[in-house]
Amino acid sequence: MALYIIGLGLGSEKDITERGLEAVRNCNFVYIDTYTSILPAEIKKLEDFYGKKLIPATREIVEKQAEEEMLKKAVENDVAFLVVGDVFSATTHVDLALRARKAGIKVHLIHNASILTAVGDTGLSLYKFGKTASIPFENKDVEAPYDVLKENAGMHTLFLLDLKVEENKTMSVKEAVDFLLGVEEKRKEKFFTEETMCVACARLGFEDEEIAYGTAKQIMKEKINKFPQCLIVPGKLHFMEEEYLKGFEVK
């Protein structure tokens, strides 16, 4: 018996791989992460496509009750844990796999696309991205994301924006830009100004994804109402990256 951690992809219930779908249908219990990202479809729609009843797994269940909720069952049953994006996009999923292995439970990983690869839709080369940073809602005294941008000088920087699914709360690119400008105002190091070129992304991996390229000042004025969103600050551009980004320029 085993624990299957399965990536669902980003934009549709149909993005699950054939191998992943087969595993889901063969498992006795199927949990789905409902707190680290926005689901690609409503749970009912996912259940209809997968042909399985899904058990919502909140942060409380995964981080504090996993032994009783999931791992205890995996001793005598095949249990699936479904994750939006790829299997280890969130540290909490690595922790779950570690606890399963310590309990002597075999862990199977079935991968899929994630935001870390979907950013390629912008035309920016994946191998030119530096360290990724997250911008939290509670950021009054936080400057670490700015430090990452500084360290990545010359490379592209992806900022993942905070979300609280259970509260239906998601950070916007505008909030992220405002945060970085605030740190810049305090530090005055000129790593992020109103003239810094930015790529605003919304719902990458979905059919209705939206990408906008312009200065921080221009992005602040753009109407981007789809979620989830992320922000990219490009580093040094190859001519092909530059040409591709022109297709998303803010007019």
Mean pLDDT over all residues of the chain?
Answer: 95
User: How far is it, in rounded angstroms, from Cα 213 to Cα 196?
Assistant: 11
For range 92-102, the mean pLDDT: 94
Q: pLDDT at residue 182 above 90?
A: yes
pLDDT surpasses 90 at 244 = yes
pLDDT above 90: residue 246: yes
19-57 pLDDT, tens digit each: 999 999 999 999 999 998 999 999 999 999 999 999 999
Look up the pTM and report it: 0.94
Torsion of CA 192, 178, 165, 25, to 10 degrees: -30
185 pLDDT band, cuts 50/70/90, is very high
Coil vs helix vs strand at 115? helix
Res 91: pLDDT: 81
How many alpha carbons lie under 13 Å from residue 104 in its C-beta half-sphere? 3
Query: CA-CA distance, 174 to 223, in Å (whole number)?
Result: 9
pLDDT exceeds cutoff 90 at 90:
no
- Average pLDDT, stretch 96-105? 96
